[in-house]
Amino acid sequence: MAPPPDVLPGPRLPPWGCRCGCADNWASRVACRQCGGPAAQKTIQAARKAAAAEAKAPATGLKRPPQGQWANGAPGNANAKMLKTIQDLQ
């Protein structure tokens, strides 16, 4: 599900405070979570910059190819061992 447009991908810290009294808006928010008012220009720019960096290098690492001994699948006969263990348990 896509996040609401007032929350950008990126770090949630440091939080910023809004005039309405809401003091714990995520750094990646460009609008207050309580009143919807816009963040300070400085906060918005920092959030956009972080979001752009995030788009270039996803923090999840899911797109990173496997490396080292896992590059070509599970090392050795790890899969076969696991299947045997599962069969033994059944």
Binding site for Zn ion (CB under 5 A): 18, 20, 22, 32, 34-35, 37
State which residue, 22 or 50, has the beta carbon closest to Zn ion.
22
- What does each C-alpha distance from 65 to 7, 34, 61, 62, 86 come to in angstroms? 28, 40, 9, 8, 27
Minimum distance from residue 47 beta carbon to Zn ion (Å): 15
Nearer to Zn ion by C-beta: 35 or 80?
A: 35
If the CB atoms of residues 35 and 59 are measured against Zn ion, the closer one turns out to be 35
- Cβ–Cβ under 8 Å, residues 32 and 18: yes
| Minimum gap (Å) between residue 12 Cβ and Zn ion | 16
CA distance 16 to 32: 9
